[in-house]
Amino acid sequence: MLKDIKNNELKKVYLLYGNEMYLKDYIISNIKDKYIDKAFESLNMIYINGKETSAEIIINACETLPFMSDKKIVIVEDLQFFTSKKEVSNIDEEELCSYMKNLNSTTCLIFITTEDKVDNRKKIVKVIKENGGVVELSKLKDAELIKWTQSIFSKNQKEISKVNIQYFLSKSGYYEHDDRTLYDLANEIDKICSYLGNRKTVEKEDVDKGVVKSFQNNVFYFVDALGQKKADMALSIFNDMILDNEPIQLILHMIVRQLRLLMLTKLYEEKGYSQGVISQKLNIHTFVVKKLITQASNFTIDDLSIILEKALDVDRSIKTGQIDWKLAVEMFIAEISKVK
């Protein structure tokens, strides 16, 4: 779609879906810069709330010719037509489908939904594909994310090595958290650059000081400390999570989840599966799989079986009120540090 904008070949209709809103805003910003005169923006760029509209309103907005411009942009956000789970008017959908086949060449109609998937079987999705384009606004992949991160540091006139970019991304929680977006990463980068002041080069220590550890990362480091038999470190990380007001049940749930992922990763790896296949089987990003494989090297299958069973015992004991939660976790850490 960015190439369409750059080459002045904007299609008549697009569907943007996914939850990476940074990309949505970036696309819309490019369209405004290319096609919209600020003096006439209110006339040539129309925003419609899809939850409170009808096919008639959308069509009327598209039918009005642009004013002192070659293009009119009509943006419809959160229209409830694109997934099978939504109950919507078939009449409105049919009307829109019919209209889009003969859409004005001076109009670009853009549907935007935060749904992470659309139903490709639906007629409206098929019509948009036939007459325009469907764009997924998903999280950036490894190479794309590294390139984007490099560009944001460069805009701040800072230099950072690829190794330190990867370290920054590993601490950011971008792939571990569904709600973590490029906006969050941009904010973290701004903090690091502000901390650097006039210094140009970003070092690993700057990343450590600038990036706030996420809850998911704390869980990862806690399990890592268990694997290295570092009881003091594990206890310190656990206390940090408590001080951050994370509920004890959520902490235990996430620890058990991490141990299960490690167990499955270890089993799949020993069967000879590649990182890509493991990623598909566990439904997690390859970036996370790499971290799991590294962490799993601290454990044997037997280790993980024992630790996971003990973690479940602790969870049950706390839920049934058999033991004080803090004592239970301290005993768990002490026992695991003795596992051979």
Residue for token pair 């005169």: 37
Question: Parallel, antiparallel, or unpaired for β 13-17 and 107-113?
Answer: parallel
Going through 78-136 in order, the beta strands assigned E by DSSP cover 107-113, 133-136
Q: What is the pLDDT of residues 92-149, one digit of tens each?
A: 889 999 999 999 899 999 999 988 889 999 999 999 999 999 999 988 887 899 999 9
- Total Cβ atoms within 10 A of residue 93: 19
Residue for token pair 């760029």: 45
pLDDT value of residue 257: 84
**Residue 334 CA from chain centroid, whole number:** 36
pLDDT value of residue 329: 84
CA distances from 144 to 114, 147, 151, 238, 274 (A): 21, 5, 11, 34, 21
pLDDT value of residue 268: 93
What CA–CA distance (Å, rounded) separates 100 from 121? 17
Six-digit token string for 24:
């949505």
Domains of the chain, earliest start first: 2-136 (3.40.50.300), 142-210 (1.10.8.60), 215-336 (1.20.272.10)
Closest alpha carbon to 26 in 135, 178, 143, 125: 135
What CA–CA distance (Å, rounded) separates 340 from 338? 6
| Cα-only R_g, the chain | 25
pLDDT value of residue 95: 93
**Backbone phi and psi for residue 37, each to the nearest 5 degrees, phi listed first:** -80, 125
pLDDT value of residue 43: 92
What CA–CA distance (Å, rounded) separates 256 from 223? 10
Q: What is the pLDDT along the chain (340 residues), one digit of tens a residue?
A: 999 999 999 999 999 999 898 999 999 999 999 999 999 999 999 999 998 899 999 999 999 899 988 899 999 999 988 887 666 667 788 999 999 999 989 999 999 998 888 999 999 999 999 999 999 998 888 789 999 999 999 999 999 999 999 888 877 878 766 667 899 899 889 989 988 989 999 999 998 887 766 677 788 788 888 777 788 888 888 888 888 788 888 888 888 888 888 899 999 999 999 988 998 888 877 777 888 888 888 888 888 888 888 888 888 888 888 888 888 888 888 887 776 5
pLDDT value of residue 89: 65
What CA–CA distance (Å, rounded) separates 243 from 231? 18
pLDDT value of residue 213: 66
CA distances from 193 to 26, 160, 170 (A): 22, 11, 18
pTM of the model: 0.67
Residue for token pair 């598909």: 280
Q: For residue 324, which amino acid is it?
A: D
